[in-house]
Structure 1
């Protein structure tokens, strides 16, 4: 397949592009110089010039330019415009969302029946975009809610990079034993997003955490990859963010971090 990937230079986008190429697909990153995400009229001609077989939408307003309402226009308007374009061309469309569509006023674990409730910021924008893309293109859209990504290489916006920064700044990494984050290894996430192209349309939740707390996850990562992090355990944050989807999706986190079995 020829897959058009927005956000292909981002944390998850690079992993998806690599997984696609490794699987024998052609991965084409969205060229923002050829089609500005905020210039909706440019999208159709650009997509036709690429002629993809599918679209995976990971793009966000990673580097703000100061234009009016840029966050909403990028997160919501661009996503809906892509849903329209995919519908017109009958292309499979994967839209990536986030566990942040649930705010921490209500604790999880969250299921497919849980009502998203974020009222502001990025989580609210993603929540609105989810509803919009499913309404615009119900027969071809797959919405994938993602948790925090784990990349042992420590590149980009992910859990390992966060811990490295905390160690550099404070000599330790604070971690609550009462927070169960939605999270997964980034290569598992990338493979799952590609598989979604061949699954029925609808809502999916991709989370590997079956019950581990943040402190234990960081300790297991540090021990397995020899990061030598100093984990400072606390109970400062009490929240269960896990996303429960009974369909086959991501492997159990403990399969990648066997220490969590203990």
Structure 2
């Protein structure tokens, strides 16, 4: 039987030299006590207790049996690296609303950026893709002229959905102080399609029935100048 009292590093009445497992237990206990002094679990957004009574880290998706295990996890490299990645993601999405990072978060961000692999995609540009722009307007759509003056209610007038000529001599308004009257004048821009339609209706030999209207109806009543698909037809006299 060997001498167990005069071993290296041992004392009489002591438990002997600690092994690797005992050292790990002591290290985790020291980390837990340190974390309890500096971290408030009630304010930790990633600390969650599930329905089974155990604890989870919502950032790293790890499961812990007690609070000490979770606190030891928060001091580890995996949790600190994920904190840095989350801080970098929040800084990219909300650069103005992002609060300044703490020293620990900045250190974790540097370590995660240095260890994370970077990939660069090499793509050969082959030119612009083929495309076509189509503008569709409803033929019976309207636009509204809105006039507001305190303390009266706001009123609006429904006018044709055509471009307005905004030249100074055609668009003007006037307020009569004596009569308390507001006057406004505006003109629509000339539309070649409408001009050709009106000329065709006024031409001799134009038949409203041939254009799609009932017999006896005039061309100005049946032809809709705002409808580009309802073009009047001209027949021989």
Per the normalisation by structure 2, the TM-score is 0.19
Higher RCO (CA < 8 A, seq sep 6+): 1
Q: Which has the larger radius of gyration?
A: 2
| TM-score where L is the length of structure 1 | 0.18
